Amino acid sequence: MKIAGILIGVIVLLLVVVAVRAMQTGKRAPLAGAPAPDFTVNSQDGKPVSLRDFKGKWVVLYFYPKDFTSGCTIEAHNFQRDLAQYEQKNAVILGVSVQDEDSHQKFCAKEGLSFKLLADTKQRLSASYDSLMDLVVGKLSARHTFLIDPAGVVRKVYLKVEAPKHSEEVLADLTQLQSAPAAK
């Protein structure tokens, strides 16, 4: 019982620290309707990838904490499982975490991922989307997702992501956004 109480106390303390730092920096996640911040970072193949490369396509920009962890692996597998459906909807999947290209390359090879994973080693991309957690053990990308339309505008923001069902949720929202009269 004591260990559980200590663990809960540590988690609450970490959440307070993250909230205070977010208030101090004044950064906020881009809101739906705002232009998506552009970026250029390397993918797992060592080649630079920019948001502007995907002008004319929908972009699912998803941030995740760490390669090879259970929740991140489940989330990536589900995006991979649904990749053909995203492609039919003119959408690309871009995963982002602070691990380097080598880690992403190994993660893709081991897990059979064929979409781009972006190596945000300088943590600028995660910070520009207010998706950077400053933990006692270091900085990691938070589990957030931004659905960006073909004109580069954020259409949907997901700040409370449940990895097992997230791809289905994003796909449903993408379908709904594309069927709306303004999206055509």
pLDDT computed for residue 134 by the predictor: 84
pLDDT computed for residue 184 by the predictor: 47
Give me the residues paired with residue 132 across strands: 141
pLDDT computed for residue 23 by the predictor: 41
Report the top-level CATH class of 29-183. alpha beta
15: Cα within 13 Å, side-chain hemisphere: 6
**pLDDT, tens digit, for every residue of 83-139?**
999 999 999 999 999 999 999 999 999 999 999 999 999 999 999 999 999 887 689
pLDDT computed for residue 62 by the predictor: 98
Q: How confident is the model at residue 65 (pLDDT cuts 50, 70, 90)?
A: very high
Active site residue 108: no
pLDDT computed for residue 1 by the predictor: 62
> Could you tell me the two tokens for 1?
């019982």
pLDDT computed for residue 140 by the predictor: 94
Length of the chain as a residue count: 184
pTM listed for this prediction = 0.83
**pLDDT, tens digit, for every residue of 71-87?**
999 999 999 999 999 99
**pLDDT, tens digit, for every residue of 85-96?**
999 999 999 999
In the chain, domain spans: 29-183
**pLDDT, tens digit, for every residue of 13-63?**
444 444 444 443 445 888 989 999 999 999 999 999 999 999 999 999 999
For the chain, where are the E strands, in sequence order?
A: 40-42, 48-50, 58-63, 91-97, 116-119, 132-135, 138-141, 145-148, 154-158
Instruction: Classify residue 56 as left (phi > 0), alpha (psi -120 to 50) or beta.
Output: left
- 3 three-class SS: helix
Instruction: Name the catalytic one among 29, 51, 61, 72.
Output: 72
